[in-house]
Every structure is written in structure tokens, then in C-alpha cells.
Structure 1
Amino acid sequence: MPVKVSVIVPVHDPGPRIETCVASLLGQSLPPGEYEVIFVDDGSTDATPALLDALAAEDARVRVVHQENSGRPGGPRNVGIDAARGEYVMFVDDDDRLGDEALERMYAYGVANDADVVVGKSAGHGRSVPVELFRANRPRADVANAPLIDSLTPHKMFRRAFLERTGLRFPEGRRRLEDHVFVTEAYLRADNVCVLGDYVCYYHVRRDDGSNLSLRRPDPVGYFKDVREALDVVERYTAPGPVRDSLFRRWLRVEMVERLRGRRFLDLPEDYRRELFAEIHAVVVERFGPGVAAPLQPAQRVVAALAAEGRYDDVVAFAQWETGVALAVGPEDVAWQEGVLRIVFTAELTHDGGPMAFPSAAGSPRWPPRDLAGAVRLLGAETVDRFDRTVPDLLLRERTGSAQYLQPVEVVRETVPTGDGSRVRLVLRATAVLDPATAVSGDAPGEGLWDMWVRVRLGGWTQEVRLGPAARHGRPAPPAAVVAGRVVLPYWTERHASLALDVGHATKRLGLGRVAAGDVSVEEDRFWVVLPLHVPESADAVLRLVPAKPGVAWEVVAALSPGGRLEAVLPVDGLRGRTWLTAVCLTPETEGARFHPLPFALHVDQDGVLVVPAPQPGGARRLARRVRRALYQVLGRGTPRGG
């Protein structure tokens, strides 16, 4: 069978963490005969070489190449390309993992769109990943119509014939940004690039010890030498003009401006800061014309202008001012409406703990700013000017894997005068709609815990915070809902007082304990009770009846109606003479569905069905006494002997 995908994994002393990577590779949904995994051991000194050799001896999909240490992953990746047999090659790092269906989905999407490069959606576990690129699937993308340049890691799928035709390989040796050079050239020379945005294919994992190579502090001189090489690729394959400027802007923004901002810059040693600034200043002056920096967001444009003029002290002062910038989010309402969760919140920037104020009249600020006060006035005026294009994002983020999904948001932008009216606050009043049936790129969220995050891009700041905190008193408390075959519970976390979803996982927190025995009705064999749940449409349920003393349980088909009404027909003849504890399964069609205990029991005898409170654990005797007492009262016999 032809090999569809060759997965190439450079390996160097990964230790036990490689086990997660290996498990994700060998657990792919693509049939085993249709892909191979090539581990290129780059001179590991731990137990990894023996582990990989043993794996290869057991699994025909696995091949291992051993070589002396090269110092960087570029060389091992090239070795893997030369050894590959697949139609496509996919690069994976030994500390990361793939989604279960990543290879199958990416290959199929690449073939369907005749793509030389397939970019799969990524998630960052402790690491930032692009958001804009993956808002939607993009069957035909290029650097002009999509923010491809935001994703320059090599963890993508490349058609092997394309790599052979172009001779494209990674720069080798002890250097940085070899992936920028490789991926940028691939984007610019590919006949087509496609982006799979509706499934998380790749999980970037930040190591607990922070030892990821990409997170280490680089030598400024060597690093910006490598940046220049990436810029050379852009110049080689693009003409002067807007497209080239837009690509250059990525390196100006990410590799230069962002390194000079806020706490990230101030936390560096003074001598290192000065060396870093000098290298950035040199590249900005050498390589970037005025069209590169002009479209940057205001705060980024300020830093770029100061760097271009070599004003180190002003960059430090601006970074100190920026440390006071934050995002405040206020949840106002959370409520179910016909099966979807409607979330209303406000968001605005703050500075030093209070609302940030901006000039009410933009005016014509001077570029570049003369001093810190001028820089603040300038970015304030430009932020007000761009406010009408600002939209907050609501992200539903899986707590364990960090996969995140954008939810639809409508926004009203409010310019609120403050003080004497010469300054204004910029407030975003947003309404998001989360549909549990479609919240994960058209599918329902999987069972587990999901957190809500708000992301705002304004003024050159991209701020992400949890949707909260919410005060304990008066905060919205929507019930659990039975929707899309899941029990979905919105709740406020204990640690952050922020909004989260519990999907198919909650038991005690559903609020079923608030149902009292007096809320239950029984007429002959017909039973019903209204549960504190949001139920948008009728659904099947199962009522379980467990005898208080050892015996065989009954499971009765029940109906769950809008409004939370649970109804069932009881098999009274089979229940007589016993007391039955009750539980309900709200999603019987879902694999692994749970039964949730109900706070009442049913005592059935020749006179009918009596509803009594359920016992606490170990309270069978107390339950028996309550049943006897209730029966004596019903029959008018007073109080039974012994209470």
C-alpha cells in the first residue's frame, strides 16, 4: 500500500516526555499501512536510542535513523525528508503531540485542494499560537489573502514532490530561525497552500522546565543575522510593494517590536537590553521602508518609530508605562435561550488598575513622538480613531488540551466621557452566543471542562483574560441544560470566579438536590417531577430504581420535556413491598452517560406509591423510620413504636 504521509521527528534527549508524542503518532486514525514515522536521533545521550530501536522492532510503521549531534533540528529534518517514502511529509517535535485524526484529515484536505502545503490548526499548551489564521478553513490560501505569515513553525504537511522539485531544505548548523527560512520559502513557492481550521491537528507543549529551545534567550547578533536570512527569502521571491511590506511587517512586529515592550523587555539584564536594542535598530534602518511600520497598531508603531530613531531611553520609558496596561472584563448576564447560552459582558482597557482614558478629539498627532507624554497622546488618538473596528473575541478553551474555538459575538462600542469631557473611556459591550451543538467548529464540545476567555485587540495590545471575575452575590447562575446529547453546566470557577462549562462531567453540581419530595407527583402508576434544568426540546431519559435493601434494580424509560418535566410510567406491580432509591440518566444515547441521584425515594405497597426524602449515605435505617412514620400518618395510626 502506498505511504500517504511520512512523519519526521527530530529527537535529542527528550526523556520520558517522548512517550506522549509516540502515543499520539501511533494512535492516528489513518490506517497503519498508510503512514510511517521516521525518528531521526540527533546524538541522544539518554535512553531514547534504545527505546526507539525497540519500538521500530515491534511496529512496522516506525523507522529510526541515528546520527551524531548536529545542534539544531534542521539537519535531522533534512535527513528525514531524504528517507521519506510518503506522498506528504509532516514535521513533529518530540515534546509535542498530534490530534487523533490529524494525519487523516490533513492528508485528505491537502489532496482535495491539490495543496503543496497543508497548515493544520494548532493549540498551545502553555504557548501562544495564531488565532486569526484558523478562524475558518481556507482551501486556497496565500500570503496575500491569509495571515499565513503568522504561522512559521514547521509543524505542517508538505508535498514531498514539491520539496524535491524546488530542492527546499532546512538551513543546517547551530543557528536559529531555520524554520522561518524553510516555511517562508514554501509559502512563496507553493502552487497552493490550504489551511484546515476546524480541527486541532497539532498541540504545542511547553515543557515544565521551560527548556524548549525556542524559548531560550538568543544571542542578539547571531539571532538577527538569522532574521536577515529570512528577510532575504522574502526579497528573493516578492517584488517591492504592499505584499513584501506586509511580510516584512511580521518580523518587525514579532521579532523586534514585541521584544522591546513591557515586562518582557524590562526583565532582561541591562547590558543584554542594550545589545538587543542595537541589533533591532540596525535591522529596522537597513531593511524597512516607511510602508512596513505605518499600518502597525498604535503602540507597536510607537515602539517601531523609537527603535528606528535609536531612542533607547524612550523605549525603556514606554515599556515601563506599558506595564500598567491590562484588560478588564465584566460578565453581566449568562442565560439559556432555546438551547443556546447567551453571554453578555463588557470589556475595556485599564491602566494602573483604573479605566484607561483617551483623548476625546483625535487631532493631528506628530510622528514620531518627541517624548513619553507625546507617545501616550499619539497612541491614544490613534486608538480612538480605530475603535470603530474593534471586536472582542470569546474563546471556548478546552482545559486539558488548550484547544480553543471562537464563538460568534455582536458588539456595541461605547465612547464614555470622563472627567471634564476632554477624555473618554472605550467600552466594548458584547453579546456572545454559545451553541453546545456547534461550539467546536460546527461540532459539540467533548466531555470535560471548558473555560471562557475574552480576547481584545485594541491600540496595539492583544489582551486575553478569563471571562470574570464575577462577584459571588448577584452573579448569573443559569441551570444545567440537556442539549446536543450532553448535560452542559455553566458554572463559576472557585479559583478565578470565571465562567466555565462542564460538559457531561458534572454530578453533584447539577442542582438536582434542590428537588424536594413534595415536588414529586404520582397518580397510580404515572410519575412526574420538574427538574431544575434547561431542556429546549423533548428527549428520552431513563429512571433507575434501586432497592434500599439488596435486590435487583429497575430501569424505566422516561420522557424529558421542555421546562425540565420528567415523566415515567412505573411498573408498580414489580415494585411493591420495597423502598426504591431513584436516579436519572438524562442522555441515555450518549456513550458512558451517567446516572444522577435524585433526592427522593419511592415506597411502594398495596396502598400505592409514597414519595419520601432519600437517605444520606449509610442512612438506610433512618429511611425505614421515615417511611414507617409517613405510612402511619397517612393511615391515621399516630406514631409507630420506637419513632
Structure 2
Amino acid sequence: MSEPTVTVVIGAYNAMPYLTRCLESVVEQSLGDHTLECLAVDDGSTDGTGKELDRFAAAHPAVVRVVHQRNSGGPSGPRNVAIAQARGRYVFFLDADDYLGPNAMRRMIDMAERNGSDVVLGKYVGVDCEVPRSMFESNQEVVDLATSRVWNALTPHKLFRRSLLLERGLRFDEDIRIGEDRLFVTKAYLQASVISVVADEDCYYKVKRADQGNITSSYSDLGKRFEVARRIMAAIAALSEPGPVRDAALLRTFRGGLLDSFSWRFPLMEESEQTEAMAVVKAEVERFYTPELDAQLTAPHRIFAHCARHGLRRELIDVIEFLKEERARRRPAHEVVVDQGRAYATYPHFRDGTAGIPDSCYDITGELRQDDRLDAVQWRGGRRRGVLRLSGHGFIERVRTREPATELVLRRRGDGQEVRVPTRPVPTADPDAGPAGFTADLDPARALDGGPLTHGVWDVYLDVRTQGLSTRRRFGARKAADLAPATSGGSGRLAVKPYYTAYGNLSLDVTARKKTRRPKTLKRRVGSGLRGLGRRLGGRKLRRIARLRGRSTASTRP
């Protein structure tokens, strides 16, 4: 029997009625020249899952194989059984509640074959739930682990080269029930030669069950969550060298496994359990925490790390309870203090001399968000010297606007060339905006150091500065309700077409103005009329007229 190209692994436990659609999506794959086997492991189901698997195996004997076993207590056991029995060149892990897009396997295998990929991510789609999306902005033939957002997608629903799993001994840890997938994928990422991303095809549909039976957040053993994070960080240390890739892996674990485990459940633990959990975090912080990581964490994460490291259990609980209340209110409850060009969130124990938590833990300067709105895009002036007027407002959320210094910034696509356009402050009726209204006049013929803008597309950004703080983002996505459509215009020899991108942001398409024909003069019209008359009269008649004119002229000479 020939080796299939891919083995789709399904670990199934009480997965009805979702299992049927899952299996249908596998056997209906558009594979092209590739071949597929489906290896399903029934993990001691009691709801008819086993019978449904057998039914599909009978209907598709060349594709579906079924293994029945006693319940193992988690997803790791069935997946490991399947790894041992898989025959495909690649292995893909599919949860029994979820399903595949029709072209998923073909697109991911093609990507792997083209690049020699050990791991391929196919675009996720959430069905009544949120899924990671940041890594699927565009196809990536070869991922840079130091900068890629694939670290935000650590579930095992990916295509793996089977030789990678066998040669590296990659298996799921069966003694943990939550986070085992993050540990497995982290190890795979760090040992893969090439990782690729398919972003232009909906590959994996993640389904939220009505009973939430597949949502691991219901598992509340925080002690094991901390243990999983500890194992992940140990794996990172063993499989990577100090540098950007290790920092990216550690950052994901600090943010999405270790420090965020200090959730609302932490205050409900026994004091001895709290102390033990803090000791785990302290050990990892002292081993791996660096200034580079600190700069990329949020203020709550930095506070958590400091409290764990210095044994501030009571202060830690105070901050957790405060954040819980903020989330319940769905709005920030803390104030923002600006001091010497830095912004600080006044979470509990801010500048509390007794607790001694440094201001740097509360620093949110890098987290500030900008609020802005485009109110008008209008051409002013004559046809030959038009000026594009942009009006709106921009301010930094939760920071009082004082002496605003707002500027529009035009950035040319391709080379990143920038042009800054000063604004004039104007009053605004928006109570949140306060004195943050502005108007800017852009003369395309003089904007670039007194000369014309170069041809191309210029994206519009808005810089907002106040109290020594500054933010910048693309401008135009939020618009006034009565904003009139943008119209084309020009200045000098330039034609400028304002338009909105797929994300709603404002851009300017600058090209050469089309030349217009000059109106013909009366003399030219007369001349052309005589030439036309000549053609009609013919050459003989013209010569006769010329002789007659010559005689007439001669008779009048003195």
C-alpha cells in the first residue's frame, strides 16, 4: 500500500453531533495530486461517537481508519497513539468538534512541498468564537520566528512533517490536561527548519460547542497552569540560544501562560497554594526576565512579576481584584498620571512607599491609544492651484489635551518618504476631544520641501502630541457621519485623488495632470479654411486666380 501524503488525526471523545461535519470535511477534501488517510482515535466515548466513526470507516474504507481505546483522560493520549500509527508524509491534528475548509489540505501541502516546510499554519476561522488572526495577514513562505506572530497560535491544528515528530521525539505530555498543546507546538517551532503560513485560504474552522465541552478555560487548576508554563520555559531554554528567537518565545510564555495565570482565580486559592504559585513565577522571572522583555509587557504583567519576585502577595491580590472590577465595568477605573513625558496607570499601590513597587511597573506610555476622527476633505482655491483641506480631531485617550501639537504625516508607499503637514487648532463640540480639533491645508505642488509631491500613493497618518507624549496611527478610518465623499483635484501639474483603503483609511493617489489641448486661434482656423477651400477648388483654379491677382497688382504700380 502506497504512503499517503497526509494523515489527518482526529482524537474523539463524546463529539456528537459535531463529529459528522468534521469527518465530512475530511473525506471531501480537494487534494489534487495528493492522497489522504484519516486516522480517528475513539477515546472511550459513550455518546455514539464510536459508532459514527465506524460508519464512516465502512463508507470510506480506503480513507478512514479507526482505533478504539479506553478513555485516557485528555487529548494527549489519542494524539500520541495516532502519531505512532500515522503513515502520511505529513500529519495534521483536527479536533472532532471542528472542521476543515474544502481546499485546506491541498493548499497547506503545496506550501510545505514548495518550501520544505516542517510546520504549516492554515488560516483559522472562528465559529461563534474568537481565533488567532494576527499571523494571517498575508501568506508567508518562510517565517522569521524572531518577529512573526505565529507565537500567538500555539494550538496543534497545523500541518507537521512526520519526520520532524519522529526524529525529534515530539509527543504530547499526557500528565497535563491544559497547555499540553502549547508545549508541543513551542518545541516544534524551535526545532523546525522552515515554518510557513497560508493566509489566503480559510483552512481550519474552530467551533464553539453549545455546551462549551471543548473550551479548556473551564479547567481551573492554576497550579498546573503554572507548571505547564514552567515546562515551556525549560523547553525554550533547552532548544534555543539567547537572542531574538528565544526572547520572542519567552515573551509569549510570560504574557500568555505564566503571568496571565494571576487571574481572578488566584485570590480564591489557599494561601499556601498562592505562595507556592508565586515561588514558581519568581524562579522563572529571576532566570529569564530581561529589560527587553520587560519593555514589551503590559503594566499589569510587570506588576505581577515584581510582586511575585518580592513576595508581595497582598499587593498582588489587590491589583488582581482591581483589574477584575475594571473588566466587569467594561471601562478603565484607573486614572492616568503624566510626569516628565511618561504616562502611568494608577493601579493599586502606585507610588505607595510601603509597597515599594517602582513607577516603571505602572508605565503605560507604550500602551497609549489614540482617538481621532476625519470630519472634512475639501478642495479649496482655483483649478490650477488647489489646496486640499482636511479637518477633524485627534487626542490621546484618557490624557488631558494641553497645547496640542497635532500634525498630518504623508508617507509614500514603497520608499517610506515622509512629508509633515502642520495643522491649525480649531474648537470642537466633542466633549472628549476638547481643544483637539484641527484643520490642515495641503498644497500638493509645494508640500515636499517647497516643491511638488512625487508621483505615487501617499498614506495619511495623524501625529498627536501633548504633555510630552505622542502617538501616531493611520488616519481616516473613523469618520464624521455627514462626511461628504472625497473628490479629485489638483495643484500645478499634479492631479490628486483622495480615496479610502479597504480598512477605511485615507490615502492620496498623486499623478501627473493630463494635458489639455489649447484652443485654436482665429488665424489658424482661417488658414485651415483656405487650405480646405484650395482642396475643393483644385490646383488649376488656384493658379488662375494667382495670375489674375498678379495682373491686377502690376496695373496699379506707378
TM range (shorter): 0.5 to 0.7
In 2, distance between residues paired with 1:206 and 1:114?
A: 33
Match for residue 102 of structure 2? 100
Measured after TM superposition, the shift of residue 44 of structure 1 is 1.5
Paired residue for 2:75, among 73, 76, 85?
73
Match for residue 138 of structure 2? 136
Matched, 1:282 2:279: yes
What secondary structure sits across from 1:139 in the alignment? coil
Match for residue 46 of structure 1? 47
Question: Structure 1 residues 84 and 269, CA, compared in 2 at 3 Å: closer, same or farther?
Answer: closer
1:610-625 equivalences in 2 (<5 Å): none
Measured after TM superposition, the shift of residue 123 of structure 1 is 2.5
Match for residue 186 of structure 1? 188
Post-superposition CA distance 1:457-507 (Å, at most 9, x none): xx9xxxxxxx99x9xxx956999xxxxxxxxxxxxxxxxxxxx9xxxxxxx
Please tell me whether the aligned partners of residues 88 and 158 of structure 1 are also in contact (alpha carbons under 8 angstroms): yes
In 1, distance between residues paired with 2:44 and 2:27?
A: 23
Please tell me whether the aligned partners of residues 319 and 347 of structure 2 are also in contact (alpha carbons under 8 angstroms): no
Match for residue 308 of structure 2? 307
In 2, distance between residues paired with 1:303 and 1:22?
A: 44
Match for residue 299 of structure 2? 298
Match for residue 238 of structure 2? 236
What secondary structure sits across from 2:160 in the alignment? strand
Measured after TM superposition, the shift of residue 423 of structure 1 is 12
Amino acid in structure 1 at the alignment position of 2:299:
P
1:161-560 equivalences in 2 (<5 Å): 161-173=163-175, 175-212=177-214, 214-260=216-262, 265-266=263-264, 268=265, 270-272=267-269, 277-288=274-285, 289-291=288-290, 292-323=293-324, 325=326, 350-352=331-333, 358-362=336-340, 371-372=349-350, 378=359, 382-384=363-365, 387=368, 414-415=395-396, 475=481
Please tell me whether the aligned partners of residues 29 and 104 of structure 1 are also in contact (alpha carbons under 8 angstroms): yes
Question: Structure 1 residues 275 and 250, CA, compared in 2 at 3 Å: closer, same or farther?
Answer: farther
Post-superposition CA distance 1:536-565 (Å, at most 9, x none): xxxxxxxxxxxxxxxxxxxxxxxxxxxxxx
In 2, distance between residues paired with 1:269 and 1:233?
A: 25
Post-superposition CA distance 1:251-281 (Å, at most 9, x none): 2211233233xxxx33x38432756643442
Question: Structure 1 residues 376 and 29, CA, compared in 2 at 3 Å: closer, same or farther?
Answer: farther
In 2, distance between residues paired with 1:275 and 1:26?
A: 52
What secondary structure sits across from 1:104 in the alignment? helix
What secondary structure sits across from 1:198 in the alignment? strand
What secondary structure sits across from 2:256 in the alignment? helix
Post-superposition CA distance 1:69-126 (Å, at most 9, x none): 2112222112212222222110001111112211111111111111011111212334
Paired residue for 1:156, among 158, 173, 186?
158
Q: Identity, % of aligned pairs? A: 31
What secondary structure sits across from 1:200 in the alignment? strand
Post-superposition CA distance 1:298-321 (Å, at most 9, x none): 333223322332323323332343
Please tell me whether the aligned partners of residues 116 and 162 of structure 1 are also in contact (alpha carbons under 8 angstroms): yes
Match for residue 523 of structure 2? none
Amino acid in structure 2 at the alignment position of 1:309:
H
Measured after TM superposition, the shift of residue 377 of structure 1 is 10
Match for residue 21 of structure 1? 22
Matched, 1:112 2:114: yes
Whose strand fraction is larger, Structure 1's or Structure 2's?
1
Please tell me whether the aligned partners of residues 220 and 275 of structure 1 are also in contact (alpha carbons under 8 angstroms): no
Please tell me whether the aligned partners of residues 154 and 183 of structure 1 are also in contact (alpha carbons under 8 angstroms): yes
In 2, distance between residues paired with 1:376 and 1:131?
A: 35
Measured after TM superposition, the shift of residue 19 of structure 1 is 1.7
Match for residue 528 of structure 2? none
Whose helix fraction is larger, Structure 1's or Structure 2's?
2
Select between 379-388 and 274-283 the one with higher mean Cα deviation. Answer: 379-388
Question: Structure 1 residues 186 and 327, CA, compared in 2 at 3 Å: closer, same or farther?
Answer: same
What secondary structure sits across from 1:38 in the alignment? strand
Please tell me whether the aligned partners of residues 75 and 177 of structure 2 are also in contact (alpha carbons under 8 angstroms): no
In 1, distance between residues paired with 2:401 and 2:152?
A: 42
What secondary structure sits across from 1:240 in the alignment? coil
Please tell me whether the aligned partners of residues 302 and 379 of structure 1 are also in contact (alpha carbons under 8 angstroms): no
Please tell me whether the aligned partners of residues 11 and 44 of structure 1 are also in contact (alpha carbons under 8 angstroms): yes
What secondary structure sits across from 2:184 in the alignment? helix
What secondary structure sits across from 2:154 in the alignment? coil
In 2, distance between residues paired with 1:475 and 1:244?
A: 47
Amino acid in structure 2 at the alignment position of 1:312:
R
Question: Structure 1 residues 127 and 304, CA, compared in 2 at 3 Å: closer, same or farther?
Answer: farther
Measured after TM superposition, the shift of residue 370 of structure 1 is 8.4
Post-superposition CA distance 1:222-269 (Å, at most 9, x none): 333233222221111112345333322222211233233xxxx33x38
Please tell me whether the aligned partners of residues 274 and 312 of structure 1 are also in contact (alpha carbons under 8 angstroms): no
In 2, distance between residues paired with 1:417 and 1:230?
A: 37
What secondary structure sits across from 2:363 in the alignment? helix
Please tell me whether the aligned partners of residues 10 and 38 of structure 2 are also in contact (alpha carbons under 8 angstroms): yes
Question: Structure 1 residues 317 and 237, CA, compared in 2 at 3 Å: closer, same or farther?
Answer: same
TM-score by length of 2: 0.61
Question: Structure 1 residues 270 and 163, CA, compared in 2 at 3 Å: closer, same or farther?
Answer: closer
In 2, distance between residues paired with 1:307 and 1:320?
A: 16
Please tell me whether the aligned partners of residues 99 and 200 of structure 1 are also in contact (alpha carbons under 8 angstroms): yes
What secondary structure sits across from 1:218 in the alignment? coil
Match for residue 91 of structure 1? 93
Measured after TM superposition, the shift of residue 154 of structure 1 is 0.7
Select between 131-140 and 217-226 the one with higher mean Cα deviation. Answer: 217-226
What secondary structure sits across from 2:197 in the alignment? strand
Q: Which structure 1 segments of 5+ residues have no match?
A: 329-348, 393-410, 430-458, 460-466, 480-499, 501-643
Match for residue 550 of structure 1? none
Matched, 1:63 2:65: yes
What secondary structure sits across from 1:351 in the alignment? coil
In 2, distance between residues paired with 1:221 and 1:227?
A: 10
**What do you get for the CA RMSD once the two structures are aligned?**
4.3
Question: Structure 1 residues 307 and 478, CA, compared in 2 at 3 Å: closer, same or farther?
Answer: farther
Match for residue 404 of structure 1? none
Q: Which has the larger radius of gyration?
A: 2
TM-score by length of 1: 0.53
In 1, distance between residues paired with 2:404 and 2:245?
A: 37
Q: Which structure 2 segments of 5+ residues have no match?
A: 373-391, 406-431, 438-468, 470-476, 486-502, 504-558
What secondary structure sits across from 2:283 in the alignment? helix
Question: Structure 1 residues 177 and 320, CA, compared in 2 at 3 Å: closer, same or farther?
Answer: closer
Measured after TM superposition, the shift of residue 68 of structure 1 is 1.8
Paired residue for 2:148, among 131, 146, 149?
146
Measured after TM superposition, the shift of residue 192 of structure 1 is 0.6
Measured after TM superposition, the shift of residue 326 of structure 1 is 7.3
What secondary structure sits across from 2:135 in the alignment? helix
In 2, distance between residues paired with 1:146 and 1:20?
A: 32
In 1, distance between residues paired with 2:153 and 2:340?
A: 34
Match for residue 6 of structure 1? 7
Post-superposition CA distance 1:438-469 (Å, at most 9, x none): xxxxxxxxxxxxxxxxxxxxx9xxxxxxx99x
Post-superposition CA distance 1:40-78 (Å, at most 9, x none): 111222212122112101113111111222112222112
Please tell me whether the aligned partners of residues 359 and 381 of structure 1 are also in contact (alpha carbons under 8 angstroms): no
Please tell me whether the aligned partners of residues 71 and 174 of structure 1 are also in contact (alpha carbons under 8 angstroms): no
